[in-house]
Amino acid sequence: MEPIDKVALLDADVINYVASSSAQRDFGGEIWTDISSAIADAEEQIEKEMRQAGCNSVILIYSPKTSTNWRKLVMPAYKMNRKAKPKPVCYGELRTALEARYDHISIDWLEGDDLFHMLHRKIPNSVIVSIDKDMYTLPDAEYLRPHVMAWPQYTTESDANHFWLTQVLVGDSTDGYKGLMGCGPKGAHALLKDYWVGGYFDFEEAWGAVVAAYKAKGQTNYLEQAQMARILREGDYDSLNRAIRLFNPDEEQWLYLPDV
């Protein structure tokens, strides 16, 4: 019996950055880099993560080369708090080399993270492979964090929605959205724990509690924060009309993407 073809949907942004960084040296202000070393390191990591996920093929998931990001259209301050730091010298050359060797995909305006769920749904026997904890917000998905998990785990819709609302409350200082003032992981757990009933997370009731908590602090940005914390799910991107369906439980809300 031939082995079942399993596809690793792999976060290539991270691998590309780490491998190109490790190949770079600064000799008194003179930057030296070794592209062949970067390619070898990246290929070794790709093969390692593919095997760990139990897969025999891979698709590299990249953020767009144009650096466009739909979240900045909704919240201009998104990721603005990150210190400007140039990418390693051979980052672009390495990406070109890896794209010539492997199947790959990127879409203007969508972060690499936003591609995982739609591809996971379209490709049978695929596994999402990323170090990013935000992948926990993707429902009904097989997911591997290669530096944390020994093997892939399955995330239910209830697990995904609970983690997503936790992010809405706690915020993400790295990405520049602050969540509910004064709310940390313990506060988020205390607020959301009562909405687990018989192994099912009641999202609608929990969302109502999140909104109430924001209003109690005088904050009106709960919808914006929820949209920032939400990694796109299947059906959230309309490729024909180039539009993002933003989370809004009260009305259909689409963000139409401008030309690059």
Q: Are residues 125 and 52 in the same domain?
A: yes
What pLDDT score does 79 carry? 78
| pLDDT higher than threshold 60 for residue 1 | no
Q: Which residues lie below 8 Å from residue 104, measured CB to CB, with a gap of 6+?
A: 12, 59, 60, 61, 62, 98
Q: Are residues 87 and 187 in the same domain?
A: no
Give the range of the structural domain holding residue 30, as residue numbers without chain letter.
7-155
Pull the structure tokens for residue 61: 């998931």
Q: Are residues 177 and 67 in the same domain?
A: no
Q: Give the mean pLDDT of the chain.
A: 93
pLDDT digits (tens, 9 = 90+) for 198-233: 999 999 999 999 999 999 999 999 999 999 999 999
Q: Are residues 218 and 94 in the same domain?
A: no
Residue that is last in its domain, among 155, 183, 204? 155
Q: Which helix (H) or strand (E) holds 48?
A: helix 35-52
Give the 3-state secondary structure of residue 96: helix
Backbone angles phi, psi at 149, to 5 degrees: -105, 150
CATH number at residue 32: 3.40.50.1010
236 part of a folded domain: no
Q: Are residues 131 and 166 in the same domain?
A: no
Handedness of CA 68, 74, 79, 85 (dihedral sign): positive
Residue that is last in its domain, among 140, 155, 170? 155
pLDDT digits (tens, 9 = 90+) for 6-40: 999 999 999 999 999 999 887 767 778 899 999 99
Q: Are residues 122 and 163 in the same domain?
A: no
CA atoms of 144 and 249, how far apart (whole Å): 30
Q: Are residues 161 and 151 in the same domain?
A: no
Q: How do strand 7-11 and strand 57-61 relate by DSSP bridges?
A: parallel
Q: Which residue has the higher pLDDT, 235 or 78?
A: 235
| pLDDT higher than threshold 80 for residue 146 | yes
In this structure, the chain runs to a length of 260
242 part of a folded domain: no
pLDDT digits (tens, 9 = 90+) for 41-84: 999 999 999 999 999 999 999 999 999 999 999 998 887 766 66
CATH number at residue 168: 1.10.150
Q: Are residues 129 and 193 in the same domain?
A: no
Q: pLDDT-based confidence at 3, cuts 50/70/90? A: low
What pLDDT score does 86 carry? 82
Question: Average of pLDDT values for 162-188?
Answer: 93
Long-range contacts of 73-81 (CB under 8 A, 24+ apart): 73/255, 73/257, 74/224, 74/227, 74/228, 74/246, 74/255, 75/176, 75/177, 75/224, 75/227, 75/228, 77/176, 78/175, 78/176, 78/177, 78/228, 79/174, 79/175, 79/176, 80/176, 81/173, 81/176
Q: Are residues 139 and 200 in the same domain?
A: no
CA atoms of 80 and 2, how far apart (whole Å): 49
The structural domain count of the chain equals: 2
What pLDDT score does 77 carry? 83
Rounded to two decimals, the pTM is 0.92
What pLDDT score does 139 carry? 96
Task: Name the DSSP letter for residue 88.
Answer: P
What pLDDT score does 190 carry? 98
Q: Are residues 112 and 176 in the same domain?
A: no
